[in-house]
Amino acid sequence: MEGPTGVVFPKSDAGRSTSALGRAVVADALRAVDPVGARSAEHETNWRHGYLGHFRRLVEAGLLSRDAAVTIARDGLAALHRRMAVVHPDGTETGLGEVFDAPTGAEPLRTATVAGTGEVERELSLPYRGRRLRGDELRRRLDAWVGAGVVEPSCAEAVRAVMANPDWLDLRDQRVVVLGAGAEMGPLPSVLRWGGDVVAVDLPRPEIWRRLLDTTRRGGGRLHLPVPAGTDPDAGTLVEHAGADLLHHLPQVTDWLLGVDGRLVLGNYVYADGATNVRLATAVDALTLRLQQRRDDVALAFLATPTDVFAVPGDAVRHAERGYAARGVVRRSLRVASGGRLLHRNYPPGADPGINDSLVPQQGPNYALAKRLQRWRATVARDAGATVSFTVAPPTRTRSVLRNRALAAAYAGAHRFGIEVFDPATSNTLMAALLVHHLRTGGPAMAHPWQDEAYGAAHGGLWRVPYAPRSALGLAVLLGLGGART
């Protein structure tokens, strides 16, 4: 059969257009709160390049009130679920909402469990530049990050709380579901090192599961993974049978997770390139909604990209303003030389909250939409009373970033502007510690969703640097390319 199967974009006059879907979802999200913004999104003729302003407007419109932010999130999710479709193996097409009711003919999944043989760690430690930081050394690193504007003070406070309560690391009372178990940013290595139970979902690719089983054996926890019900793999053949494709086996994965004993922490760490990222994000959101409808013990966990638009505290704005004032001569010279295109100030003076716009055009509208869907689900779930761990993660040298030459160069030159780019092991351990804090404390409960999103943010400095990130991006790329050649 030609064309994609599983969770797919809806048909339109332009085929299965990602741009048509993006325009429609953003417009519907804005319509009740900002009808002018909705019309502007609908009439955007070049979505691939023009999406940046519309995604910023989603955040700005939500600042009107808590209800406005929740309405945007709820309406955006509804617009997506109303439009996305599922193409079944026999070629029939249904709406996304019918995916759990249609017969699949596929074999159900059962659980295989692998136990680690390593020592269980009961002290928080953080790998950092070839060292393992713990105790006072870790506290000093947190202080240094706060002083440099690399993380928000609330991030350091949360990590210190975990350090002061090492028993929190014992997650055997939870079942941490890691969707995208092989992701570099996920908490799987840390949870297993701390002796917890990880329920892992990733593609049925032996190389992924071979690596995950090696990680499991080094830790002190247990890995629960899906295999077809009709197989009886031994340890030697397990990697050949493990895994499930969320795009094509969504009902089977959902039924499997519904049968998992213990409190579920549903962690969304999935990623795919291009338009597939939106399809995958949609599949995960449909799974999330189904689990929430059928179970009352589901907590949600998300990692937000720092390359997005966020409302940020006035303290971050003031930090950026001090840096902007201190760089007067260099800044003016570069702005004159570039005809005013470079090194714009990050915020208007006195903004509170400020709007940090770190969207990177090279990542494209599909990436922005996939990540925004996660933010919307976090907002709606938190508003309904669910425990939600939502944390802005730092810029990180993941494989997906380094495959993009421009982004890799920008990351290589980012330190010239006060932005710290993290190694994956540092990021995923730091984010796992913040997950523990949210699970043990119930997470933040702020007056407005933008404050919930800002809590514990480890943005790498993007919120507190003097310059609007896109106005420094070109220079960072040039400096990064220059460094790579030397």
The CATH architecture to which 109-318+341-484 belongs is: 3-Layer(aba) Sandwich (3.40)
Establish how many alpha carbons lie within 13 A of residue 217's alpha carbon, considering only the half-sphere containing its beta carbon.
7
The pLDDT assigned to 484 comes to 47
Domain residue limits, the chain: 6-104, 109-318+341-484
Mapped onto helix, strand or coil, the DSSP state of residue 131 is strand
Q: Dihedral sign, CA of 448, 446, 348, 48?
A: negative
The pLDDT assigned to 81 comes to 98
Q: Nearest-CA neighbor of 440 among 125, 142, 161?
A: 161
Establish how many alpha carbons lie within 13 A of residue 22's alpha carbon, considering only the half-sphere containing its beta carbon.
27
Residue 407 sits at φ, ψ, to 5 deg, of -65, -40
- Order of strands, edge to edge, in the sheet holding 85-87? 6-8, 85-87, 93-95
Name the average pLDDT for the chain: 93
398 contact partners, CB below 8 Å, separation of at least 6: 184, 185, 424
The pLDDT assigned to 109 comes to 95
The pLDDT assigned to 486 comes to 39
Exposure string over 323-337, b if 16+ CB within 10 A, otherwise e: bbeeeeeebeebeee
Q: Could you say which residues of the chain have pLDDT below 70?
A: 1-2, 104-105, 233-236, 328-341, 482-486
The pLDDT assigned to 468 comes to 92
Cross-strand partners of 354: 312
- Rounded Cα–Cα distance for residues 106 and 117 (Å): 34
Hey, how many other C-beta atoms are within 10 angstroms of the C-beta on 244? 21
- Rounded Cα–Cα distance for residues 284 and 7 (Å): 10
Cβ-contact 120, 169 below 8 angstroms: no
- Rounded Cα–Cα distance for residues 455 and 121 (Å): 27
* Helix ranges (DSSP H) in 338-468: 364-383, 399-402, 405-413, 424-441, 449-454
Task: For helices 66-83 and 18-31, give the axis angle rounded to 10 degrees.
Answer: 150
From the number of C-beta atoms within 10 Å of its C-beta (0-12, 13-18, 19+), residue 446 rates as middle
The pLDDT assigned to 206 comes to 96
- Rounded Cα–Cα distance for residues 286 and 466 (Å): 40
Cβ-contact 379, 69 below 8 angstroms: yes
pTM of the model as a whole: 0.94
DSSP H/E element including 112: strand 109-115
The pLDDT assigned to 404 comes to 81
Q: Nearest-CA neighbor of 233 among 221, 242, 223?
A: 242
Mapped onto helix, strand or coil, the DSSP state of residue 403 is coil
Residue matched to tokens 């790329």: 477
